[in-house]
Amino acid sequence: MGKLKENNSGKVFLVGAGPGDVGLVTLRAHELIRDCDALVFDHLANAELRKRAKPECEQIDVGKAPGRHTMIQEEIGKILVEKARQGKKVVRLKGGDPFVFGRCAEEMIVLDEANISYEIVPGVTAALACAAYAGITLSHREYGSSISFLTGHEDVEKESLRVNFKKFAEVGGTLCIYMGMGTINEITQKLMDGGLPKDKPAAIVSHGTLPAQRKVISTVGNLVHDAERADLEAPAIIFIGNSIGLSTKGNWFERKQLFGKRIVITRPLEQASRLKAMLEEKGADVLELPLIRILPSEDRNLVAETFAGIATYEWVVFTSANGAREFFNVFFKAFGDIRSFGPMRIACVGEATAEVVRKFNLEVELIPNRSTGEDLAQALVATNSLDSANVLVVTGNRNREILVGLLESIGHAIVDSLPIYQTDFANVTEAPDLAQYCQYGADAIVFTSSSTALSFVEQEEDLKLANGATKPMLCSFGPETSKTLRENDLEVSLEIENPSVDSMVEALVQKIGNH
């Protein structure tokens, strides 16, 4: 490859990515991530943030997992310089706040030397976030009128990096110790040697603000023992001070109904965003494994023909929310006015589909009790209105034969079917959260349609779980989907009666929620 042309238009943004929960990044950070050409990140930045970057944004992992330095600081500096010299807008994401034990200074020096301009965006630092999400107050009018941020990371070669914990025993107030888990024994011992009473309140919060958050509330004397018993691991903040003693009940975050539950959604995010948002609001860790892709129908002539005769139908039957959504997309492109739709009656396979139709202030006259093609057909036949009636069935490219067959054979209707969209299996190896799923598993997988179930079966090889990963229970949006799963020897643990996002969330809370 030839040498890239250098220019000065590039710029580096050293951006605080917050402690974990993506809701805690600043608006400025969010904007920069969305617009940048190169995103340089390490393991402390939430993977979810990276999904917000443009598809063409170059993403570079310089992650340094504890004990496994994948890239030394010097190399990171070089990358920042190189990318900026290519004229790129570079975002260097740093966990928490860039200036709090973030080695930001090293990167600033490198950039200064290379004459590259930069900006710094502060972030919510781990100590403050962990305290808030664990309900641990750091200051109090009567206890704790100073707050200190310390690092417990002891570098044997660099005396200057050592904190004199004995002295901090005298300083008092609230101590927030970063990177202290590896030397917790020594830290607590030195604090007690320095005169800190062993019953001084202390706490540890690990994986703060994330669904994996864990905490112990203890005392300096018992902290090591309690942390071991609770099996707490880094990243974690150790808190010490009197105000911590006030905090034992404040676990608002961990009390969320789906806190700590890993739930997989299988629809493409465009359609699953409400489900994701509702699950996250209840504290769940949502993994995205899109198993299907929705594509518009290729038969534009058929669509045009159907629309030309739209006024002749007595019933329009929608068999899926995707179908209804795509139908109205195309409809409004063709007509631009709802009055062209005509006075026909409308049937929908289930509540979620009906919700889409009602958005256009159209009344849905019929929804069967169970959301299957057979039930929909029977409910329509029972209206005694089908004989010789023109019926339009709006479908995808799967699962329409039974419905159309029954409407024609029992109802004697004249049926046109309009495949308005196609469902294709999405390649799961491209799913953003596949690696996480395979490594840790999940508590539940939500199948929204038979096609997501079929795609799951077909791609089983790529979805294999590692040893020790949690085996998920399978949840289905309706009988058709359950049938597909069972036909493939998969056990369905949860099926909802009325397929809607709200009932699925409610059912998950009932089944696996923290009560």
Active site residues: 42, 64, 179
Minimum Å distance from CB 158 to ligand SAH?
Answer: 16
Q: Which is nearer to ligand SAH, 208 or 290 (CB)?
A: 208
Q: Report the alpha-carbon angle 437-442-448, nearest 5.
A: 90
Residue 158: how many other CB atoms lie within 10 Å = 8
Position of minimal CB gap to ligand SAH: 96
104-113 and 73-85 helices cross at what angle (nearest 10)?
40
Sign of CA dihedral 173, 177, 180, 181: positive
Please give the Cα distance from 464 to 241 (Å, whole number). 46
Asked if 115 contacts 39 with a C-beta cutoff of 8 angstroms, the reply is no
Q: Which is nearer to ligand SAH, 130 or 403 (CB)?
A: 130
Minimum Å distance from CB 103 to ligand SAH?
Answer: 8
Query: Which residue is associated with the tokens 């080695």?
Result: 103
Say which residues have a Cβ less than 8 Å from residue 75's Cβ, sequence separation at least 6: 62
Nearest to 428, CA basis, from 288, 285, 295, 276: 288
Q: Which is nearer to ligand SAH, 209 or 257 (CB)?
A: 209
Minimum Å distance from CB 130 to ligand SAH?
Answer: 5
Half-sphere exposure of 145 (CA within 13 A, CB side): 2
The DSSP line for 188-219 is HHHHHHTT--TTSEEEEEESTTSTT-EEEEEE
Q: Which is nearer to ligand SAH, 148 or 385 (CB)?
A: 148
Asked if 204 contacts 232 with a C-beta cutoff of 8 angstroms, the reply is yes
The helix (H) or strand (E) run that includes residue 390 is strand 390-395
Q: Summarize as ranges the residues that interact with ligand SAH (CB under 6 A).
A: 19-20, 44, 94-97, 100-102, 125-126, 130, 178-179, 205-210, 234-237
Minimum Å distance from CB 252 to ligand SAH?
Answer: 17
Please give the Cα distance from 378 to 406 (Å, whole number). 8
Q: Which is nearer to ligand SAH, 101 or 318 (CB)?
A: 101
The DSSP line for 422-459 is EEEE--GGG-TTHHHHHHHB-SEEEE-SHHHHHHHHHT
Please give the Cα distance from 58 to 55 (Å, whole number). 8
Please give the Cα distance from 506 to 219 (Å, whole number). 39
Please give the Cα distance from 115 to 113 (Å, whole number). 5
Asked if 21 contacts 3 with a C-beta cutoff of 8 angstroms, the reply is no
Q: Which is nearer to ligand SAH, 237 or 364 (CB)?
A: 237
Please give the Cα distance from 215 to 134 (Å, whole number). 7
Minimum Å distance from CB 138 to ligand SAH?
Answer: 14
Query: Which residue is associated with the tokens 């096609």?
Result: 451
Minimum Å distance from CB 53 to ligand SAH?
Answer: 21
Minimum Å distance from CB 176 to ligand SAH?
Answer: 9
Q: Which is nearer to ligand SAH, 181 or 376 (CB)?
A: 181
321-334 and 351-358 helices cross at what angle (nearest 10)?
20
Minimum Å distance from CB 45 to ligand SAH?
Answer: 10
Q: Which is nearer to ligand SAH, 90 or 93 (CB)?
A: 93
